[in-house]
Amino acid sequence: MCKNLVEKGDLCKPLIIFNRTVKRAEDLNAELPAGTSIIAKTIEEAVSGSEIIFTCLADDAAIKETVATMMKGNVKGKLFVDCSTVHPDTTEVLAKTIMAHSAQFVACPGRYLEPDPGVRNSR
């Protein structure tokens, strides 16, 4: 996702990346073209420096905790996009919370589609 964002996303500033496991953010940062990304040390840092924040976490507990942390700062007018696969009720609660802080929210779960290898033989 990040790779495509920096390559094709026409971003005017470096992509800010954060991961609870610092090494993962560091590895990703190293993979991306120089200067296209910077690592945030905290969630607060990532959010305060951004207008649009994408999240993609493993489960409901993780995203709830993360959103709670993100809402501590001033998030008025920011757009939060959650790509996590979670219970629909969780999504609704997150939406309510985020919008109560005058921010915007889009639920954006996704699935990778494998490129079709193509038909090898036709009989």
Partner 1 sequence: MAENGQLVCVLAGPAASVDRVKNYTRGVMGRANIDFSNQPHGKATLMKVIGNTFILSMIETLSEGHTIAEKSGLGNENLHAFVETMFPGPYVAYSKRLMGGDYYKREEVRHSAPLGLGFSMADLAF
The residues of the shown chain that bind partner 1, judged by CB under 8 A, are 1, 3-5, 8-9, 52, 54, 59-60, 79, 81, 83, 85-92, 94-95, 104-117, 119-123
Q: How far apart are CA 65 and CA 69, in angstroms?
A: 6
Cβ proximity to partner 1: between 47 and 94 the closer is: 94
Cβ proximity to partner 1: between 35 and 77 the closer is: 77
**Cα-based distances in Å from 89 to 67, 79, 85, 93:** 15, 20, 12, 6
DSSP letter, residue 96: H
**What are 110's two structure tokens?**
């996704």
Cβ proximity to partner 1: between 49 and 109 the closer is: 109
3 state SS of 48? helix
Minimum distance from residue 119 beta carbon to partner 1 (Å)? 5
Q: How far apart are CA 36 and CA 55, in angstroms?
A: 18
Minimum distance from residue 113 beta carbon to partner 1 (Å)? 5
Minimum distance from residue 56 beta carbon to partner 1 (Å)? 11
Minimum distance from residue 11 beta carbon to partner 1 (Å)? 9
Q: Is 70 exposed, middle or buried (0-12, 13-18, 19+ CB in 10 A)?
A: buried
Cβ proximity to partner 1: between 68 and 108 the closer is: 108
